[in-house]
Copies of this chain bind each other. A is one copy, B any other.
Amino acid sequence: MAHTVQDKKKLQARVNRIQGQLSGLGKMLEQEADCDLILQQIAAVRGAINGLMQVVIEGHLHVHLVHESDEDRRASELEIMLKVLKAYMK
């Protein structure tokens, strides 16, 4: 079973929280809040997205590389992962 199915509830809860933070950001823009509060809210959303990505990457590495017995499948799953990791390493 794919890790994103195994962890479905946990991941959906994270996505819902981020949506709540984004709605809060939308309200702050609508109510013309101070820009430093807006900056902090964007930084909080960014942190939450990074947290979500980290959980999914860890799950992917555990399920598709550590617990996968077939070496060829491990190799193809790693290629998927490297595409995402490269975006972080520029």
Q: Decide if A29 touches B4 in the complex (CB within 8 Å).
A: yes
Of residues 1 through 32 on chain A, the ones whose CB sits less than 8 Å from some CB of chain B are 2-5, 8, 11-12, 15-16, 18-19, 22-23, 25-26, 29-30, 32
The 10 A-B residue pairs with the shortest CB-CB distance, nearest first, are A36-B80, A65-B65, A54-B89, A4-B35, A66-B74, A88-B88, A5-B32, A46-B49, A39-B84, A66-B75
- Give 30 A-B contacts (CB < 8 Å), ordered by A residue: A2-B34, A2-B35, A3-B35, A4-B29, A4-B35, A5-B32, A8-B30, A15-B26, A19-B22, A19-B26, A36-B80, A38-B56, A39-B57, A40-B83, A42-B49, A42-B56, A43-B53, A43-B84, A46-B50, A51-B89, A54-B89, A58-B82, A61-B65, A61-B78, A61-B82, A65-B74, A65-B78, A66-B71, A85-B85, A88-B89
